[in-house]
Amino acid sequence: MDIWTKEPVYTNQEGTKWWDDDETTKYARQKTLKGKSLPLARGYYVETIDGYRSRVLIDKGVIIAESQQLEGIGAKIDILKFLED
């Protein structure tokens, strides 16, 4: 089923719609070979009121990565994991 036809899990005061992105969440929380992960990160699909669609990664209430392509958000997650202490 197309994610954009489902009811969003949240719509903020600006009209941006949010859907859970379980694939991105799973990838962010998956440990690397060195044991690094983003255990509190959560992925979402978002659509703004003007129709812009993207994937975002949230950690502690802050957007830490954004991309319109799956490969782009994956690369950003890899970099964030690499930079983890």
Structure confidence at residue 1 as a pLDDT band (50, 70, 90): low
CB 17 within 8 A of CB 8: yes
- Give the pLDDT confidence score for residue 24 in this predicted structure: 96
pLDDT tens-digit profile of 4-24?
A: 889 999 999 999 999 999 999
> Which has the closest alpha carbon to 25: 6, 46, 47, 44?
44
CB 54 within 8 A of CB 11: no
Predicted structure pTM score: 0.90
pLDDT tens-digit profile of 16-72?
A: 999 999 999 999 999 999 999 999 999 999 999 999 999 999 999 999 999 999 999
Number of structural domains found in the chain: 1
| CA–centroid distance for 83 within its chain | 18
Query: What residues form DSSP beta bridges with 56?
Result: 44, 66
CA distance 72 to 5: 23
- Give the pLDDT confidence score for residue 60 in this predicted structure: 92
Q: Which domain holds residue 45?
A: 3-83
- Give the pLDDT confidence score for residue 67 in this predicted structure: 97
